[in-house]
Chains A and B, each alone.
Chain A
């Protein structure tokens, strides 16, 4: 266990954290403002990935592929919202969970029909596949650094949007007093549709950026969705800050756990036992962490006020 390895895993953790943040931010915004729990959020991640790869192959440019995938995913989100989800705003959470669960089945199968079950393979363009050197001893993949940078940029933009603009004010106001905002002449329906589409686009961005380095296959978004749930449970519902904190924590714990738990255990117990217990425990780590946080703070670390 040396410094380079630790540094590498820390950066990996940051990269995972960024992906989770993009997912969790959308989820928590949608929940905070529209009181809608959307299980199919992972499907937007998947759609974003598939569209990005497809556009990449058509245009030959990854950047263009990702950029095109964003509005496309947003469009998919808007269509779903208008067709299937509008009536769910007034329904209870059980109904929302079940309906969006049905949507997951639909999306997974749709992707499988169009693109096949085997999964899509794509590789990074040359200019993105290099390594960035930090001094002589340590190098880290350029692309992953790009992902981190994009994530940080989006986080900053989101903060600015929600905290400093009139649109953000509407969004926050819509959360606490829908009828009042509507009475002010703001088109609540349009606002909700836009917020939902925006959330879908964030998920699509996460999926699109992940496509070159993770496996692209039907159902790829579902495990990420559940991790996003863990993020929100830890960070607190309804707050972007909570999503960011939770995402970084979960990203770090999961990555570092998978990398170092087994060797750490091997110093305490026999190597063969560590061999089996290590990975098992590592995969459970973020859930155990969630349990611990909730045992102490049932509303999470940074819940939005009023929740």
Chain B
């Protein structure tokens, strides 16, 4: 096992996150458990995006759609009395993967700006669909009837238990994506990003592998959606608003693309920043907006470039 700086960063991060709940209780600020849990859920979404963006070079502006599908799947099942967590979450992941397959089948054939526009458009489509589903809250949304149930195993109503579940899942996702990136499959994706003509010349057709990566990323994000709805307990179409896709993209960039751990840092920074700014002023977006522009113009390689030089190497 090579103990690179990235591994150390990951372990440090996990330890810090694991220590947060007891510390928060000690300091009398339980709100931070809530905030960090939200950070970790979005981190899962961001890591899944990093699979296709950082390693695959596919700039998807539509990732929030899968958050939405996951959330809606759980809610809709709950409305019909199906509350078994494992079943709900399996459906959430499966539905997200199906959607990713449908959207990907068309979008992955394109590239560059087309891909960006099309993924954005499809997310918008789902948002409108969500709005028009009055029976599931429509524009205003609805409360989640009951949290996902896991028998005696774990109680999602218990903030701390839920927190550690999310942390565990985050670690799993990070390790999974790292594994994928280093596998034969991952190498094809990365090769196609690095030099597409060369990839075809040696006999690999990028489309099928890219589509598979797109579907996997969608599925993981669907899981994040299932987690998110249990976290907020309130379903609204805003979950899949296209600006949410932009947020997730930014998390990946802030942390450093293609570094898997980076998006976790990115989620932490962005959400903590948003939280701090919104406490300060109601017009926080006017600060965040230009801040993001500055990050893109000047700190493009993200935080990762501060912690370790050069891009990823799985």
Residues of chain A at the chain B interface (Cβ within 8 Å): 31, 37, 84, 87-88, 93-95, 97-99, 101-110, 112-113, 222-223, 226, 229-230, 232-233, 237, 276, 279-280, 283-284, 287-288, 290-291, 294-295, 298-299
Contact = CB atoms under 8 A, between A and B. Distances in A.
Given A104-B289, A106-B286, A229 B121 contact: yes
B234 interface: no
Given A99-B297, A279-B132, A287 B113 contact: no
A109 B283 CA distance: 6
A304 to B, nearest CB: 13
B106 A295 contact: yes
B103 to A, nearest CB: 8
B277 to A, nearest CB: 11
9 nearest A-B residue pairs (beta carbon): A106-B289, A105-B289, A102-B292, A287-B125, A109-B286, A283-B128, A102-B293, A280-B132, A109-B285
Contacts of B128: 283-284
Contact of B300 (A95, A287, A288, A295): A95
A37 B113 contact: yes
A279 to B, nearest CB: 5
User: Chain B binding site: helix, strand, loop or mixed by DSSP?
Assistant: helix
B40 to A, nearest CB: 23
Interface of B: 53, 59, 61, 105-107, 109-110, 112-114, 116-118, 120-122, 124-125, 128-129, 131-135, 242-243, 246, 249-250, 253, 283-286, 288-293, 295-297, 300
A98 B49 CA distance: 15
A84 B293 contact: yes
A103 B121 contact: no
B121 A290 contact: yes
Given A232-B117, A294-B107, 5 more contacts: A103-B293, A237-B113, A237-B114, A279-B132, A294-B106
Contacts of A284: 125, 128-129
Nearest to B125: A287
